[in-house]
Each structure stands twice: as C-alpha cells, then as structure tokens.
C-alpha cells in the first residue's frame, strides 16, 4: 500500500475512534443529566434527536430479554423505539398477533424484507429466495412451492433422514456408551442436520456426522459465513460493517473468504450435475436436479440452493437440542412420548436395537400419528424459537391494527421469542414447559393461529419445509428417545444465544445411557 494511502487510512481510523469516544462522552453526560426531562415509554427512555440510543446501548447484551420486558408492559404488546430523531429511523417491535397477521398477510406487499435487511445477507445468500423481494422472490417461490408439494420429495427426505439416523447417529451414540464418552448433542444434531440438508438440496453427502473424517471445506466455510453475517446484524450501526467491508477488515475479511469457498464448492457441484443431465445419467431426486431441470441459470440455482442449506442447517437442530434438554428436566413428559411411540408401533421392547425393526417401527404413516411428540416440539419452539425475530421494512406509511402508526422506511419486527412469553397470549404459566397446552382435549391437537405462533412465518412467505421439518425432527427425536437416555453433564440452565438462528451457548454436553 502506498504511504499516502496508508496515511489516509490511519487518519480515517483515528477520526472514527475519536468520534466514537466523543459520542460515548455525550451519552454518559445525557444519561446523568437528562433523566428528569426524558419521556418514559413502557420502561425505556427516549431523548430528543438520539431517541432510544442510550437504552439500546445499556441493553445491547440482553436485547431479547429487554424487548420481552417492554412488550409485557405495553397494553398493545407493541413498542416503538426511536433512533437519531427521524421518523424513518423508528423500529417497531410487536408481539401482537393481529399486527403479525397484518404484516405477514393482510398488507404483505407493504412489508418486504427491504434493502437494509437484504444487504446484511446479500454477500452470502445473494439472490436466493430468502433474501429477495418482488418478482425474484415470486419466481423462486412458485418453483420451490411446486417441488416441496411433491410426494417424491417428502419420501426422499424421510429416506435420507432414516439412513443417516440408523447408519451414523445410532452407532455414534452406541460408541459413546461403550467408551463412556461425553457428547455435545448440539454439535451432533447440527452435523446431522447439515448432512441431511446437503443430501436433500445438493445430492451431496458431506459426512459431517462421521467424526473420523475432517470437516469438508464447504461445511467449515458455511459456518464461518453464517457467523460473519450474524456479526453484521449486531453491529452498532449500518455503516460499521460497510466500512469494515470497504477496507477488508476482521469479520468482513473472513466473510469474503468463506463466501468464496461456498460459491466455488456449490458451483462445482452444479457443473457436475449439469454434465450428468447432458449425458442422461442423472437420476437424483434432490432439489438441485429439480432446479436445474427447470431451466434456471447457474447463479440463481446456486443462490437458491445456498438459501435452502441456510434454512435447513440450524433451525431443526436448534429445535431438537432445546427439546432434548427440556426433557431431561421433565421426565414425565419424556415418559408420555415413549408411551405414545410404543402404542403406535406396538413395540413394547424399547431396548430393541435391530435396525430393520427400527425402520418398520417409525415409518412415514407412524410419524404422522405422533401428536404428543409434535406438541412437545411446538412447546419447545414456543419457548426457544430457532429464529428469534424477523423484520420487514415498510414500503409506505401505514397503521397497524392496534393503532401504531408506521412510516415509510420503518423497520417493523415481529418477535416470536417474546410472543412465547406473553401472559396475554399463553396464560400465567407461559414460562412453563407444558405440552398439554397444545391439545383441545386428550388426543386432539389444537390448531393455534400461525400469527400467535409464527415460528414458521405465515402468509405468502410461510415456510415451505414446515411439514418436512416436523417429520425429520420427530424421526430423529423419537429414534433417540426409544433407545437412549441423555444425562446432562452440567445442571446449570443453558444460555440462549440469538444469532441468525438461536443456539445453546457452550453446547449441550451429555453422557449417553441405554434405555432400560
């Protein structure tokens, strides 16, 4: 780098640091002198010009708990957080089901993801379905919706899950028993989920659940890219990560390198598959073959596949991790799951480890009958949703059903984590893990509104893989519980960490025992 450029760069860094230091002095001064004139809105302070910036700063380490506290104290279950004085900079956070329905369905066209959101994941997900609006989204949605509705894809998905569970997961847990080893079930389930979604989306097996093999470059790069993208989302200001990207610094340098590996790896798989189709020897049922057959170009196919890898990578594993942890504290609920599975399969010998018997006992039709296990998964996701919040950006001025005004450009966020903790929605026992709340009466599942329980979104953007996700999770959790008991190594309550998808800080370390 020329000396002059280096000088300018260092001068810019010094200026930024000085401005941040100066801003900190101002915030400290305002905090100590302006509290008597500030307006309190449901437990947070809003000041002229800087709005709620101080409250954000003070609660940045506990945003999900702060938001939940504010929403619990709001009569409408909605809060408005003002930033830097402009109406356009308002952020509206809601746990009101009527508002959620308005945003996701009734006035869907007015609430796209918006450029501020799509910029965050743009380098990683590109023009894939989960990171675009308008015609690009609509085209991909129609194609994906058709493919996800086919019976062949559902059957293919279950066959992939069954093969991975019987061929890798069960032997891994058996080995832990024989060696009295400690397993991190969060890591195990993440590896299983990545193997599953890669097989379904790419027709490629990364073998992540085989601990004897090194992690393939695509898997490691995917982790790095997701982590670096999440760092963008928690940056104190939009320009911070933009500046880091401009100068190729820190997490932005890691993101650029990781995305290059992900793109190169997926492109190679696409080129190989196209050649197979040209040669007439492609008989695969995965999403990649279906998307290529639809006639789309390499870039769109690549970004669509990467989007589905992202969606299926950590969501199901997070849901299963938290459920398995909850069951270690609720043996009565675990017992009810086992009773249901035994009744459905007519297999009273829960220690039967024969793989052929396992395939017969948990087929597709049996899994559809496991209502209590589904209720447990829903209850776990109510308390620990894999995606903590989702935000849109208003295209035009609007008014939410609860009367909250929305201005063009506002960030409007619905908040599944907080919604699961609202007494007004779930009753005074809302913080308790109680799967029975999901039944109208014994044996009859309750159909809760997807706008009260929006963990799979709803409306036009409702998750296409919802039912496939339930089948996958029920198959894995049921297979584990029928054979094994998981004994936590640490009895402390784990910390819930909300990034792109939520995870358990430090993992979920267990010892494995055979079920008697």
- Residue-wise pLDDT tens digits, 284-331: 788 899 899 888 889 999 999 999 999 888 899 999 999 999 999 999
CA distance 100 to 104: 6
In a domain, 87, yes or no: yes
**The pLDDT of residue 18:** 45
Buried b (16+ CB within 10 A) or exposed e, 199-233: bbbbbbbbbbbeeeeebbebbbbbbbbbebbbbbe
> If you count them, how many residues does the chain have?
516
**The pLDDT of residue 116:** 84
In a domain, 392, yes or no: yes
Residue 112 CA to its chain's centroid (Å): 19
In a domain, 279, yes or no: no
In a domain, 289, yes or no: no
405-406 vs 398-399, strand pairing mode: antiparallel
Find out whether 347 and 361 touch, Cβ atoms under 8 Å: yes
Q: How confident is the model at residue 449 (pLDDT cuts 50, 70, 90)?
A: very high
CA distance 305 to 127: 11
How many Cα atoms within 13 Å fall on the side-chain side of residue 194?
18
In a domain, 54, yes or no: yes
Select from 90, 38, 43, 99 the least CA-distant residue to 70.
43
- Cα→Cα distances 12→195, 243, 247, 444, 469, Å: 45, 10, 11, 64, 48
Residue 57 in this model has a pLDDT that exceeds 90: no
Provide the domain limits for residue 65: 25-106+387-428
Residue 353 in this model has a pLDDT that exceeds 80: no
Q: How confident is the model at residue 50 (pLDDT cuts 50, 70, 90)?
A: low
312: left (phi over 0), alpha (psi -120 to 50) or beta: alpha
- Determine phi and psi for 52, rounding to 5 degrees: -95, 20
Mean pLDDT score of the chain, rounded to an integer?
A: 86
Residue 106 CA to its chain's centroid (Å): 24
In a domain, 16, yes or no: no
Q: How confident is the model at residue 278 (pLDDT cuts 50, 70, 90)?
A: confident
Residue 2 in this model has a pLDDT that exceeds 80: no
Rg from Cα positions in the chain:
24
As for how many domains the chain has, the answer is 1
**The pLDDT of residue 280:** 86
Residue 450 in this model has a pLDDT that exceeds 60: yes
**The pLDDT of residue 368:** 87
In a domain, 314, yes or no: no
pLDDT tens per residue across span 144-198:
998 888 888 888 888 999 999 999 999 999 999 999 999 999 999 999 999 999 9
Helix residue ranges, H only, 279-422: 287-293, 298-329, 331-345, 355-361, 364-368, 371-383, 416-419
**The pLDDT of residue 1:** 43
In a domain, 307, yes or no: no
Find out whether 514 and 484 touch, Cβ atoms under 8 Å: yes
Q: Tell me the pTM.
A: 0.88
């Amino acid at each position: 780098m020329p000396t002059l450029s280096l000088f300018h760069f260092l001068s810019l860094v010094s200026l930024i640091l000085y401005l941040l230091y100066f801003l900190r002095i101002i915030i400290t001064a305002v905090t100590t002198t302006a509290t008597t004139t500030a307006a309190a809105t449901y437990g947070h302070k809003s000041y002229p010009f800087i709005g709620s910036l101080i409250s954000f700063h003070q609660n940045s380490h506990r945003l999900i708990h702060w938001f939940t506290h504010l929403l619990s104290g709001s009569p409408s279950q909605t809060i408005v957080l003002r930033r830097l004085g402009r109406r356009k900079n308002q952020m509206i956070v809601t746990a009101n089901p009527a508002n959620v329905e308005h945003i996701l369905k009734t006035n869907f066209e007015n609430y796209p993801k918006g450029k501020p959101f799509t910029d965050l994941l743009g380098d990683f997900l590109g023009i894939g379905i989960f990171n675009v609006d308008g015609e690009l989204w609509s085209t991909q949605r129609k194609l994906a919706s058709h493919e996800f509705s086919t019976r062949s894809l559902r059957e293919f998905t279950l066959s992939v899950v069954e093969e991975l569970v019987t061929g890798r997961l069960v032997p891994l847990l058996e080995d832990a028993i024989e060696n009295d080893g400690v397993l991190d079930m969060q890591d195990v389930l993440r590896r299983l989920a990545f193997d599953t979604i890669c097989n379904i989306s790419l027709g490629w097996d990364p073998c992540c659940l085989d601990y004897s093999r090194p992690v393939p470059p695509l898997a490691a790069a995917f982790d790095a890219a997701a982590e670096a993208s999440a760092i963008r989302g928690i940056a104190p200001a939009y320009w911070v990560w933009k500046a880091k990207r401009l100068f190729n610094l820190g997490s932005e340098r890691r993101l650029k390198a990781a995305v290059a590996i992900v793109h190169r790896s997926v492109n190679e798989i696409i080129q190989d598959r196209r050649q197979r189709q040209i040669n007439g020897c492609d008989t695969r049922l995965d999403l990649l073959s279906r998307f290529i057959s639809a006639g789309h170009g390499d870039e769109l196919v690549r970004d669509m596949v990467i989007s589905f890898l992202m969606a299926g990578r950590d969501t199901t594993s997070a849901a299963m991790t938290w459920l398995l942890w909850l069951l270690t504290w609720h043996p009565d609920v675990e017992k009810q799951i086992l009773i249901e599975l035994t009744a459905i399969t007519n297999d009273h010998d829960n220690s039967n480890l024969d793989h052929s018997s396992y395939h017969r006992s948990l087929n597709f039709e049996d899994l559809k009958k496991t209502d209590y296990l589904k209720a447990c998964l829903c209850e776990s996701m109510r308390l620990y949703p894999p995606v903590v919040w989702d935000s849109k950006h208003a295209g035009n001025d609007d008014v939410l059903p609860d009367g909250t005004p929305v201005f063009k450009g506002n960030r409007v966020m619905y908040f599944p984590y907080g919604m699961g903790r609202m007494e007004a929605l779930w009753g005074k026992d809302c913080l308790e893990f109680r799967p029975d709340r999901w039944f109208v009466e014994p044996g009859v599942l309750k159909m809760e509104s997807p706008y009260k329980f929006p963990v799979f979104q709803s409306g036009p953007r409702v998750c296409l893989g919802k039912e496939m996700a339930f089948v996958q999770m029920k198959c894995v959790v049921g297979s584990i519980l029928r054979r094994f008991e998981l004994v936590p190594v640490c009895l402390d309550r784990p910390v819930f960490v909300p990034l792109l998808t939520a995870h358990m800080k430090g993992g979920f370390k267990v010892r494995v025992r055979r079920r008697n």
